[in-house]
Amino acid sequence: MSSPSKRREMDLMKLMMSDYKVEMINDGMQEFYVHFHGPNESPYQGGVWKVRVELPDAYPYKSPSIGFINKIYHPNVDEMSGSVCLDVINQTWSPMFDLVNVFEVFLPQLLLYPNASDPLNGEAAALMMRDKTAYELRVKEYCEKYAKPEDIGAVPEEKSSDEELTEDEYDSSDEQVAGKADP
């Protein structure tokens, strides 16, 4: 096994052993979802997002690709695609960083200190610069509408017909199909 794949495995295991729920997208270790909670004492507090992480072949030498699956109102997150404009991840990534850093440092910092001068969501950036209170109210509206814990399970996922069901989907489909046993 090459060094980058050992590192990928180690970082992923470290993330899984932390407080984050990790859902693998396929059999490989390159794509997965992480449940991310908004930072306390911020307008994002109480929000929960499903974040898609894609690790490039050259990880950890090349940064992971990060995107929000459920909607978030933020100047540095594209509202339609969920893509994150995050200089630390995209431009100043170093192999010294790991996946836990992304969720414990980089994303919380991004939400706490948005950069309105480099926006992916121009409307959010303009509102933040023009009326911070209205901006924070909009953030809270989005949290309430799109980022409740139950919204994470309700977000459509890309599935191929031959993928296995998750345990929750399996359990719920059993309940719907099962009837009374024949006497």
pLDDT band at 159 (very low <50, low <70, confident <90, very high): very low
Q: Does 74 reside within a domain?
A: yes
pLDDT band at 154 (very low <50, low <70, confident <90, very high): very low
Q: Where are the alpha helices (DSSP H) in 31-121?
A: 87-90, 99-101, 107-112
Answer yes or no: 143 catalytic.
Answer: no
Cα 151-155-160 angle, rounded to 5 deg? 155
**Confidence check: pLDDT of 183 > 90:** no
Q: Starting from the edge strand earliest in sequence, which strands make up the sheet with 65-68, in order?
A: 22-24, 31-37, 48-54, 65-68
Q: Does 136 reside within a domain?
A: yes
**Confidence check: pLDDT of 174 > 50:** no
For tokens 């309430």, what's the residue?
144
Q: Using the Cα atoms of residue 62, residue 60, residue 49 and residue 113 in order, give the sign of their dihedral.
A: negative
Q: Does 164 reside within a domain?
A: no
**pLDDT tens readout for residues 104-146:** 999 999 999 999 998 999 999 999 999 999 999 999 999 999 9
For tokens 């431009």, what's the residue?
91
> Can you give the pLDDT at residue 90?
72
For tokens 């893509």, what's the residue?
83
pLDDT (mean) for 35-52: 96
- Enclosing H/E stretch for 145: helix 132-146
| Number of domains present in the structure of the chain | 1
Q: Using the Cα atoms of residue 9, residue 10, residue 15 and residue 17 in order, give the sign of their dihedral.
A: positive
pLDDT band at 168 (very low <50, low <70, confident <90, very high): very low
**Residue span of the structural domain in which 94 resides:** 4-147
Q: Does 173 reside within a domain?
A: no
Q: Does 165 reside within a domain?
A: no
49 forms beta bridges with: 36
Selected residue with higher pLDDT from 88 and 141: 141
Tell which residue, 26, 33, 65, 61, has the closest CA to residue 48.
33
85, 99, 107, 125: the catalytic one is 85
Q: Does 158 reside within a domain?
A: no
CATH of the domain at 108: 3.10.110.10
**pLDDT tens readout for residues 15-24:** 999 989 999 9
> Can you give the pLDDT at residue 91?
74
Q: Does 167 reside within a domain?
A: no
Percent of the chain whose predicted confidence (pLDDT) is above 90: 64
* Amino acid at residue number 157: E
Q: Do you know the residue count of the chain?
A: 183
Q: Does 183 reside within a domain?
A: no
83 forms beta bridges with: 67
